[in-house]
C-alpha cells in the first residue's frame, strides 16, 4: 500500500523542493519536510510588512496609495512564508515575483522586501543556494528595469528614475542578506559534519570493543576447550581399562571448564555499565605457571625459560594471550608433546618465542582459524610484531616482539 501511494504521488513530488535542477546541493537529496508550519514568525513578518507599508505610504506621497490590491499583494507574499520550510524554492521565487509586481504597480517602497529576505534566507539555509540567488537576482534585475527605464510608462504618473546611489544601496542590502544566509548555512553544515564525525568515531570505538571482546573470548575458549577435548578423549579411551586415569581426566576437564567460565565472566564484565570495576584482574605473564599446569593436563610438557619483566596491563595481557594461543595450537596441531616458551627482554622490547618439535598432525582440530590473526592484532595494537611459521627441522615457531613502553597511556 505504501509503495502504491508513493508511485501515485511521484510525479508531483518535485514540488516539495522544486524540480530536479532545484534540489538541494551537496547531498543530492531533498530531505524530509518539517512537520509544522512556522505560524509565529510568519504572523510577525506579516504585521511588520503591513504596518511598515502604511508608514512608508505616508512618507512617500508621490507613490501610488495603498489600496486593496496592494494589501492583497503584501498578504500573498507574507502568506507564502508559511511554506518556506517545506517548499523553499517555490516560496522564494513567489515572494520575489509578488514584490516585483508590487513595485511595478507604483506602490510605496517599504518592508515588502522583508518577505523576500526571509524566503531567501530559508532557501539558502536549506541548501538551495542557486535558487535563492536566482530569485533575488530576478527581483533586483526587475527593479533596475523599472527604476531606470520602465518608470516612464508605469505608475505613478510623473515618477522619476532612481539614481546610481539608490541602486548601490539596494545591491548592498542584497549582498548582506545573501552573506548572512550563507554564514548560517555554513555553520549548520559544520555542525552536521561534527555530529557525523562524532557518530562515526563512536561506531569505530564500538567496533574496536567488539573485536577486542571477540578476541578475548576466542583465546579463552580455544585454550580451555582444547584441553577439555584432549582430556575427554583420554577419559573415553581409559574409562574401562583404567578408571583412575579416566577420573583424573575428568578432574582436569572440571578444572579447565571452571577456569574458562571465570575468564569468560571477566570478559563479559566489560559489557556492564561504564564505571563498574572488573571483578578480577586481567591475566598476565605472572600466571604462566597456571598455563603450564593446564597444558600439562592436556598432555603437553611446557618448559619456560627466562623471567617475565614488569609490563603495563595491556602488554601483559597481550603477552599472556599470545603464549596461551601458541600452546593451544601446539595441543591442536602438533604431534609433539613438548613445547618451550622463552622470554627475553632488553633494548626496550620483550621477545616471546614458543617452539615445538612437530611434526604437524594434519588433523582437523575444530578451530576457527583466527588464532594467528588474533595474535597479530594484539601485537600490532601495541606496536609489536608476530612471526609464525614452520622450522627447517619440522617443528613450528611463534616469535612475538612487543615494546616494553606503555602505548596505552600515550
Per-residue pLDDT reduced to its tens digit, 41-53: 999 999 999 999 9
Average pLDDT, the chain: 79
Q: Residue 292's closest CA among 236, 331, 245, 263?
A: 331
At 87, phi and psi to the nearest 5? -130, 70
Segment 333-350 mean pLDDT:
88
- The SS3 call for residue 25 is coil
Q: Confidence band (pLDDT; 50, 70, 90) for 156? A: confident
User: What pLDDT is attached to residue 341?
Assistant: 94
Q: Confidence band (pLDDT; 50, 70, 90) for 277? A: very low
CA distance 219 to 260: 10
User: What pLDDT is attached to residue 348?
Assistant: 86
Of these ranges, 10-24, 135-149, 161-175, 360-374, the one predicted with the greatest mean pLDDT is 135-149
Per-residue pLDDT of 347-380, as tens digits, reads: 889 999 999 987 877 655 444 556 778 788 888 8
Q: Confidence band (pLDDT; 50, 70, 90) for 337? A: confident
Segment 91-118 mean pLDDT:
91
Here the cell at position 13 is 513530488
User: What pLDDT is attached to residue 155?
Assistant: 79
User: What pLDDT is attached to residue 52?
Assistant: 92
Question: Does domain 200-271+283-409 bear CATH number 3.30.565.10?
Answer: yes
Segment 103-118 mean pLDDT:
89
User: What pLDDT is attached to residue 410?
Assistant: 41
Segment 301-319 mean pLDDT:
88
CA distances from 171 to 81, 113, 135, 167, 410 (A): 23, 13, 14, 6, 56
Q: What is the DSSP letter of 369?
A: S
CA 187 to chain CA centroid, Å, is 19
Q: Output helix, strand, coil percentages for the chain, rounded to the nearest 5.
A: 65, 10, 25
Per-residue pLDDT of 62-80, as tens digits, reads: 888 999 999 999 999 999 9
Segment 85-107 mean pLDDT:
93
- Break the chain into its structural domains and give their ranges: 16-162, 200-271+283-409
**Model pTM score:** 0.46
User: What pLDDT is attached to residue 268?
Assistant: 67
Q: Residue 117's closest CA among 45, 212, 204, 203?
A: 45
Query: CB within 8 A of 263, min separation 6: which ones?
Result: 216, 220, 224, 283
Amino acid at each position: 500500500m505504501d509503495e502504491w501511494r508513493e508511485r501515485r504521488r511521484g510525479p508531483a513530488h518535485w514540488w516539495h523542493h522544486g524540480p530536479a535542477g532545484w534540489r538541494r546541493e551537496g547531498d543530492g537529496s531533498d530531505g524530509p519536510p518539517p512537520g509544522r508550519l512556522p505560524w509565529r514568525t510568519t504572523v510577525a513578518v506579516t504585521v511588520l510588512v503591513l504596518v511598515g507599508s502604511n508608514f512608508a505610504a505616508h512618507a512617500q506621497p508621490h507613490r501610488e496609495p495603498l489600496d486593496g490590491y496592494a494589501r492583497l499583494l503584501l498578504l500573498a507574499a507574507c502568506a507564502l512564508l508559511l511554506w518556506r520550510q517545506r517548499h523553499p524554492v517555490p516560496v522564494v521565487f513567489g515572494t520575489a515575483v509578488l514584490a516585483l509586481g508590487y513595485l511595478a504597480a507604483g506602490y510605496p517602497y517599504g518592508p515588502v522586501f522583508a518577505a523576500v529576505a526571509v524566503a531567501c534566507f530559508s532557501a539558502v539555509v536549506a541548501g538551495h543556494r542557486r535558487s535563492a540567488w536566482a530569485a533575488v537576482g530576478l527581483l533586483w534585475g526587475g527593479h533596475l528595469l523599472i527604476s531606470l527605464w520602465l518608470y516612464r510608462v508605469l505608475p505613478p504618473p510623473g515618477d522619476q528614475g532612481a539614481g546610481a546611489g539608490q541602486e548601490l544601496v539596494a545591491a548592498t542590502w542584497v549582498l548582506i542578506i545573501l552573506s548572512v544566509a550563507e554564514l548560517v548555512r555554513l555553520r549548520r553544515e559544520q555542525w552536521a559534519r561534527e555530529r557525523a564525525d562524532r557518530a562515526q568515531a563512536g561506531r569505530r570505538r564500538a567496533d574496536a570493543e567488539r573485536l577486542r571482546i571477540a578476541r578475548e573470548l576466542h583465546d579463552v575458549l580455544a585454550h580451555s576447550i582444547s584441553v577439555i577435548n584432549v582430556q575427554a578423549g583420554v577419559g573415553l579411551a581409559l574409562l574401562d581399562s583404567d578408571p583412575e586415569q579416566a577420573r583424573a581426566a575428568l578432574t582436569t576437564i572440571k578444572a579447565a571448564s571452571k577456569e574458562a567460565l571465570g575468564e569468560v565472566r571477566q570478559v563479559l564484565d566489560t559489557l556492564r555499565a561504564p564505571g563498574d570495576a572488573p571483578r578480577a584482574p586481567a591475566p598476565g605473564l605472572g600466571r604462566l605457571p597456571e598455563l603450564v599446569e593446564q597444558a600439562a593436563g592436556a598432555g603437553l610438557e611446557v618448559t619456560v625459560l627466562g623471567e617475565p619483566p614488569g609490563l603495563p596491563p595491556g602488554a601483559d595481557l597481550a603477552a599472556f594471550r599470545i603464549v596461551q594461543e601458541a600452546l593451544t595450537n601446539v595441543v591442536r596441531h602438533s604431534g609433539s608433546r613438548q613445547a618451550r616458551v622463552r622470554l627475553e627482554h632488553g633494548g626496550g622490547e620483550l621477545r616471546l618465542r614458543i617452539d615445538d618439535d612437530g611434526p604437524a598432525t594434519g588433523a582437523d582440530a575444530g578451530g576457527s582459524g583466527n588464532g594467528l590473526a588474533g595474535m597479530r592484532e594484539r601485537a600490532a595494537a601495541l606496536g609489536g610484531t608476530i612471526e609464525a611459521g614452520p622450522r627447517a627441522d619440522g617443528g613450528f615457531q611463534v616469535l612475538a616482539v612487543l615494546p616494553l613502553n606503555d602505548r596505552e597511556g600515550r
